[in-house]
């Protein structure tokens, strides 16, 4: 399963965000195979971050719980916001509509 966590960090809270990031970085359980972070300036909302998180098949519940635990410390940052979405790989998305590559 792949999860995408989108987060918004107010410009004036980037130092606070970085301090929390340093605390939680590297605390990934074995079933989270890869966690990549990308960022861009999002006009007046601040920094917009995209987190692509790849997990082992069959560990959706555990992954969602652990991702939420790792993200929880950021909730105390005023103005910080996030959204988590499960994603399909294209092969799996095609299966939903009865197609294949």
Pick the more confident residue, 100 or 16: 16
Cα torsion angle, 52, 57, 60, 65, sign: negative
Structure confidence at residue 55 (pLDDT): 92
CA distance 70 to 41: 23
- Domain topology for 2-96: Alpha-Beta Plaits (3.30.70)
- Which tops the pLDDT comparison, 44 or 7? 7
> What confidence tens digit (pLDDT) does each residue in 31-87 have?
999 999 999 999 888 999 999 999 998 888 899 999 999 999 999 999 999 999 999
Domain boundaries, the chain: 2-96
Indicate the pTM of the whole model: 0.85
Determine the pLDDT at residue 6.
Answer: 97
């Amino acid at each position: 399963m792949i999860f995408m966590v989108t987060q918004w960090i107010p410009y004036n809270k980037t130092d606070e965000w970085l301090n929390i990031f340093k605390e939680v970085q590297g605390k990934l359980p074995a079933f989270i195979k890869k966690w990549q972070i990308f960022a861009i300036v999002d006009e007046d909302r601040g920094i917009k971050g995209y987190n692509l998180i790849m997990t082992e098949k069959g560990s959706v519940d555990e992954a969602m719980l652990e991702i939420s635990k790792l993200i929880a410390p950021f909730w105390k940052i005023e103005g910080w916001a996030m959204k988590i979405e499960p994603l399909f790989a294209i092969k799996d998305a095609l299966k939903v509509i009865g197609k294949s590559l």
